[in-house]
Chains A and B, each alone.
Chain A
Amino acid sequence: MLKINNLKASIEGKDILKGINLEVKAGEIHAIMGPNGSGKSTLASILAGREEFEVTDGSIEYQEKDLLALAPEERAAEGIFLAFQYPVEIPGVSSTNFLKTAVNQIREYKGIEPINSVEFLSMLKDKMKLVDIDQSLLQRSVNEGFSGGEKKRNEIFQMAILEPKLSILDETDSGLDIDALKIVSDGVNKLRSKDNATIVVTHYQRLLNYIVPDYVHVLYNGRIVKSGGKELAIELEEKGYDWIKQESDAQLA
């Protein structure tokens, strides 16, 4: 589904990613872990098409397409979804209208008729249950005045509506208490299928107790320095990141 090849990227002349290689297949869950500043969020942002980053080398192939040639909205229509670490508030734009516009623009891209209002509302109702989101939130402006937990749940709710093929969860656990974490993870797990894949970006192992990864990669200094199964995450939780840093720095020296 996704093949990242020697990806290098910088922002304002500063190199952030220094050669990432990663392959994600349908049905898999990959966790990307690593200390702060290692480039985890940058990788997530580049996959979604954020323009501030400059890709200086390498390629990303997504479903046999050159992902880097697509605009963010085209990537969304092709099935890529980024759950934001900091979902932005958009005053004056109603959540419901925004979602309907998104759904219809994606349908338009795919050459499908726009969704009718009845269909749309029943879809909203279904998906609301999935993340236990209150109807009143949808009547408000996008994320405006939402608590941290509500914002994160709203991200997963949008994910449920848009039914992506590749979901990227960027630090979705940050700022979530344990109850909210369970609800969010539960939602993500219900959306899993053999046809879609998930990349979970996180600093801590806790989320991975609920969203169990098939692979864990450790990102440090712009490179994936270690990959393994879910047990790697547990090891990181116990020992911290220092041993990885030392190992990696020693290799480079």
Chain B
Amino acid sequence: MSTVADQPNIHKKIHTNFEILENKLNGTSKWPIHQVRKQALSVFNEQGLPGVKHEEYKYTQLGKALEKHFDFTQKAEPQIANIEKYKADLYFSDDLINLSFVNGQFVPELSDKYEEAGINILEFSEAYEKHQSKIDEHFSKYAKVESDPFIALNTAFAENGAYIEVVDNKIVEKPVFLNFITDSSMGEVVTYPRNLIIAGKNSQVSVVERYLSDGDHPSFVNSVFEAVVYQDAILNYYLIEREGENNYHLATTQINQVEKSYVNCYAVSLSGAMVRNNLNLVLDAEYCESNMFGIYLLNGKSHVDNHTMVDHRKPNCESNELYKGVMDEQSTGIFNGKIFVRQYAQKTNAFQSNKNIVLSNNASVNTKPQLEIWADDVKCSHGCTTGQLDAEQIFYLQSRGVSKQRAKAILLYAFVNDIVNKISLDNIRENIQKTITERLYLDLGVE
């Protein structure tokens, strides 16, 4: 069957790796979470990696890429070089909380200890020891293993990542940075980061999920960020991907919203060999609001695919989506935005827009809005544009003494900054602006 990839070797290796994981567990293999893992593995076995004709992975042949570039032989110990070398890429400040992972392993030296009553920000295994029943209640309840083979695969190997629980009425004042560094300088790396966020009633938290990579060997990150946001709570979520040309990444973000909750998502992808972001929002109660913003700024042979899905299940909710992409050199951008409005979800407002600039003849973009509306009293709109930089604007800037390269950088910055400016947290906004500026000016050869 061509919707399933034919990779007997990978599947065999995955089973061996699962046995390695089980052997490490000792007494804890009876714990409920491990039953979930086993269940996930069997679901993955049934599904397999997506094949070339898999509808959802048609434009992003991740199954094929994994088969071609990966061995999947897991080393007994994850390889971590001198941690000093990772410090330069992280932000240490009293204004934020860091949890850092290198090749899946939690690195306490690059992380902050945060203790406050009602707020738990912990590395996953420690969290499981301390908050087992809470985790069992929520883990794998929103990111359903049946819905996607990569969620199933991640769930089978879920042991590293962050756990963030904010009890009712608590506000986490500082943003939480989850730094995932993939270092393949010593060999192939495959990791399965798994993050679980529980935002209690009327709570607020901002989480930045950052991915960086180093090394020339191939690496594959299959991550899942799973969150539930309760009544009147606010979650600001940032996914920032800045990975190398040998890095393959499938990032699933699954957020379920409960009544009157408010979620802002920002996805910024700047590089990577093949990046696929599956952002799924389920609006499962009335009066929820969701905003989804995305930027992809690509060059080289980067391939970035944003698949977003908003599922309006209940009435009176609103979702807004704006994704903007810039494709240079031989890069490929893909946007697929699904909006479901269920029959019961009357008075839904759902808006979607995707805008692209293609800078080179060898770059391409593929954009597809997909609206499925069963309710009859809704306001929905979608639109997409693909074009080039405005020649008249470039000439205008040049005529005032600005070089052509810089004029382009200024215009591209303005194009994406429209989204970045919506970020209300100063340190995150400035951080992203700095990253984009570096990126634009370096790539265009402007100082």
Which residues of A does B touch, CB under 8 Å? 48-51, 71-73, 75-77, 81-82, 84, 87-88, 90-93, 98-99, 101-103, 105-106, 109, 141-142, 158, 162
A115 to B392, CA, bound (A): 27
Residue B65 CB within 8 A of the other chain: no
Q: Which residues of B contact A50 (CB under 8 A)?
A: 395
Give the 7 A-B CB pairs with smallest separation, nearest first. Answer: A92-B414, A76-B401, A72-B398, A102-B400, A106-B401, A73-B398, A102-B401
Residue B404 CB within 8 A of the other chain: yes
A selection of 5 A-B contacts at a CB cut-off of 8 Å is A49-B395, A71-B404, A92-B418, A98-B400, A102-B397
Residue B406 CB within 8 A of the other chain: yes
Residues B306-342 near A (CB distance < 8 A):
none
Residue B2 CB within 8 A of the other chain: no
Q: Which residues of A contact B397 (CB under 8 A)?
A: 90, 98, 102
Contact A93 B398 (CB under 8 A): no
> Given the known A-B contacts A88-B392, A101-B410, are A158 and B418 also in contact in the complex, defined by CB atoms under 8 Å?
no
Given contacts A93-B414, A98-B397, A98-B402, 15 further A-B pairs with CB under 8 A are A71-B403, A72-B395, A73-B401, A73-B402, A75-B399, A76-B400, A88-B390, A90-B393, A91-B418, A92-B414, A92-B415, A92-B417, A101-B406, A102-B400, A158-B400
A99 to B397, CA, bound (A): 9
Identify the interface centre among B390, B396, B415, B418: most chain A CB within 10 Å of its CB: B396
Q: Which residues of A contact B395 (CB under 8 A)?
A: 49-51, 72
Q: Which residues of A contact B402 (CB under 8 A)?
A: 73, 98, 101-102, 105
Smallest distance from the beta carbon of A48 to chain B beta carbons, Å? 5
Q: In the complex, which residue of chain B has the Cβ closest to the Cβ of A75?
A: B399
Q: Which residues of B contact A102 (CB under 8 A)?
A: 397, 400-402
Residue B411 CB within 8 A of the other chain: yes
Q: Which residues of A contact B392 (CB under 8 A)?
A: 88
Contact B396 A84 (CB under 8 A): yes
A88 to B401, CA, bound (A): 16
Q: Which residues of B contact A106 (CB under 8 A)?
A: 401
Q: Which residues of A contact B418 (CB under 8 A)?
A: 91-92
A158 to B402, CA, bound (A): 13
> Given the known A-B contacts A88-B392, A93-B411, are A82 and B399 also in contact in the complex, defined by CB atoms under 8 Å?
yes
Smallest distance from the beta carbon of A136 to chain B beta carbons, Å? 19
A76 to B415, CA, bound (A): 25
Contact pick for B396, options A88, A91, A101, A109, CB 8 Å? A88
Smallest distance from the beta carbon of A57 to chain B beta carbons, Å? 23
Q: In the complex, which residue of chain B has the Cβ closest to the Cβ of A161?
A: B400
Smallest distance from the beta carbon of A71 to chain B beta carbons, Å? 7
Smallest distance from the beta carbon of B232 to chain A beta carbons, Å? 33
Smallest distance from the beta carbon of A184 to chain B beta carbons, Å? 18
Smallest distance from the beta carbon of A110 to chain B beta carbons, Å? 10
A106 to B401, CA, bound (A): 6
Contact A90 B411 (CB under 8 A): yes
A106 to B398, CA, bound (A): 11
Contact A109 B415 (CB under 8 A): no
Smallest distance from the beta carbon of A46 to chain B beta carbons, Å? 12
Contact B404 A48 (CB under 8 A): no
A93 to B406, CA, bound (A): 13
Smallest distance from the beta carbon of B421 to chain A beta carbons, Å? 9
Q: Which residues of A contact B403 (CB under 8 A)?
A: 71, 73, 105
A208 to B197, CA, bound (A): 70
Smallest distance from the beta carbon of A52 to chain B beta carbons, Å? 8
Contact A88 B393 (CB under 8 A): yes
Identify the interface centre among B393, B401, B404, B411: most chain A CB within 10 Å of its CB: B401
Q: In the complex, which residue of chain B has the Cβ closest to the Cβ of A101?
A: B402
Smallest distance from the beta carbon of B447 to chain A beta carbons, Å? 10
Contact pick for A90, options B404, B406, B414, B417, CB 8 Å? B414
Contact B410 A98 (CB under 8 A): yes
Smallest distance from the beta carbon of A83 to chain B beta carbons, Å? 10
Identify the interface centre among B392, B395, B413, B415: most chain A CB within 10 Å of its CB: B395
Q: Which residues of B contact A93 (CB under 8 A)?
A: 410-411, 414
A150 to B53, CA, bound (A): 56
A48 to B417, CA, bound (A): 30
Smallest distance from the beta carbon of A104 to chain B beta carbons, Å? 9
Identify the interface centre among A48, A82, A93, A162: most chain B CB within 10 Å of its CB: A93
Smallest distance from the beta carbon of A119 to chain B beta carbons, Å? 17
Smallest distance from the beta carbon of A160 to chain B beta carbons, Å? 13
A-contact 0/1 string along B40-73, CB 8 Å cutoff: 0000000000000000000000000000000000
> Given the known A-B contacts A88-B390, A92-B414, are A162 and B396 also in contact in the complex, defined by CB atoms under 8 Å?
no
Q: Which residues of A contact B414 (CB under 8 A)?
A: 90-93, 141
Q: In the complex, which residue of chain A has the Cβ closest to the Cβ of B414?
A: A92
A50 to B397, CA, bound (A): 12
Smallest distance from the beta carbon of B397 to chain A beta carbons, Å? 7
A49 to B396, CA, bound (A): 10
Residues B404-434 near A (CB distance < 8 A):
404, 406, 410-411, 413-415, 417-418
A49 to B403, CA, bound (A): 13
A98 to B418, CA, bound (A): 16
